[in-house]
Structure 1
């Protein structure tokens, strides 16, 4: 059986960094608020992110095998606001190194491996991903990021282009995610200003897992609020494909 990507089994200089020392806690709070409030269920119309599409590059280091694997593809996410809850639907499509699809309609997630003629089907919790191991938290749970993770500056705190680097650790023990490192677009600190347009905050995400594994995903060509349809997140199991259903309390990653 071919190796499945980590997401399927399951996202500057010293002088510049030193400049954050004065008021760093206040700035950190602004960065976190700027990225979170666009994804909140009560976000203001016109200032919220309803859906996104992007291309991505992925580099995964498999610690147990001491091997690096690279991939690329497309991702689409829609955030459905249901009262005070926000339920993401998502679709990951890998073209490299092999064709794979990870699709969720908000209640079920399917991991489809055409070359293996298999699909892994798992339920999603009724309230989204909160409270379970979720390697996609950096993408689908941004509105509750500080509730699920402790957030601090990474080292260094800025990348070479002046974007913010954050270190996140799960508040509850996780068997899949040991920590996250995110590169956040510097424009988010001004997003609370009246009339500001949405800006997708995550430029780069690195997920650190067990056995020294890590997966870095870089997003580019991001498109926001294009009105993605339900049909994009539907999955019909092809005829003749084997369906695997793991433990009902876990994702099929």
Structure 2
């Protein structure tokens, strides 16, 4: 009798957890949810933390700041990374890139095309919402495919040889994937929780996003830069980024 009285409560509890108990998505379904989300992305504002581990140095380098992204601009997306730790700014209007180091009183500038022509530019393109994962990468799950929070973790290996990076790990929101599968449409234009870039030298750079706001109308004027008086301008350092 007690069990019979508890049975409706048990059924209700299981129904509440039904999304968690649903079958896991396949690699292709996660990639499709990611690409469909990007298709609806117009602009982005988010906080980020960054951790770089250099193979030649045991001590990790950390950073933090705020990123702004807006689709369009010709050569690629407009983007702005305002680092508060260490203080620096990376800005692009889609045609030109500025890398400003206030403490050095220097700004390096280059064509955006030269940035995206390098392998690092391909990795950056996925953080700016301009890439097509299935076109440029071979995708598979890392480990069993999910992290401790239920997010999907993809390993992306470039199909084109000679890239500056070896592979890219993307952590994709589990909720975004499940909602896409349930509704047949993307509900999160930027479903990336974090990314890790592994380069050919054994270095790795991890970025984690938080406080993400999408399609709020980020102004184009944010993606230009005028060097302050007395700042040295260095044109195309090393012939651009490679």
TM-score of Structure 1 vs Structure 2, range by shorter chain: 0.7 to 0.9
Q: Quick check: 1:122 aligned with 2:119?
A: no
Does the 8 Å contact 1:130/1:148 carry over to 2? no
Instruction: Give the 3 Å change call, closer, same or farther, for CA 197–188 of structure 1 in structure 2.
Output: closer
1:43-101 CA-to-partner distances (Å, cap 9, x unmatched) read: xxxxx11111110111111112222011110001011287xxx83100001111x2100
Aligned-pair CA distance for 1:237: 1.6
Runs of 4+ in 1 over 4 A off after TM superposition: none
Does the 8 Å contact 1:71/1:95 carry over to 2? yes
Aligned-pair CA distance for 1:145: 2.0
Whole-angstrom CA distance in 1 between matches of 2:185 and 2:176: 13
What are the residue-to-residue correspondences of 1:30-179 with 2, within 5 Å?
30-40=29-39, 48-80=40-72, 87-96=76-85, 98-125=86-113, 129=116, 132-134=119-121, 135-179=123-167
Q: Quick check: 1:210 aligned with 2:197?
A: no
Aligned-pair CA distance for 1:36: 0.8
Whole-angstrom CA distance in 2 between matches of 1:149 and 1:200: 19
Between Structure 1 and Structure 2, the one with more helix by share is 2
Q: Report the equivalent of 1:5.
A: none
Does the 8 Å contact 1:188/1:199 carry over to 2? no
Aligned-pair CA distance for 1:238: 1.8
- The structure whose Rg is larger is 2
Aligned-pair CA distance for 1:119: 1.1
TM-score, scaled relative to structure 1? 0.77
Larger mean CA deviation between 171-180 and 48-57 belongs to 171-180
What are the residue-to-residue correspondences of 1:3-14 with 2, within 5 Å?
none
Whole-angstrom CA distance in 1 between matches of 2:130 and 2:220: 21
Instruction: Give the 3 Å change call, closer, same or farther, for CA 122–205 of structure 1 in structure 2.
Output: same
Instruction: Give the 3 Å change call, closer, same or farther, for CA 211–151 of structure 1 in structure 2.
Output: same
Instruction: Give the 3 Å change call, closer, same or farther, for CA 183–125 of structure 1 in structure 2.
Output: same
Instruction: Give the 3 Å change call, closer, same or farther, for CA 119–162 of structure 1 in structure 2.
Output: same
State the SS of the aligned residue for 1:67. Answer: coil
Does the 8 Å contact 1:103/1:233 carry over to 2? yes
Q: Report the equivalent of 1:246.
A: 237
State the SS of the aligned residue for 2:29. Answer: helix
1:151-178 CA-to-partner distances (Å, cap 9, x unmatched) read: 1111241000111000011122345311
Number of residue equivalences: 217
Does the 8 Å contact 2:73/2:95 carry over to 1? no
Gapped regions of structure 1 (runs ≥ 5): 1-15, 41-47
Instruction: Give the 3 Å change call, closer, same or farther, for CA 205–110 of structure 1 in structure 2.
Output: same
State the SS of the aligned residue for 1:87. Answer: coil
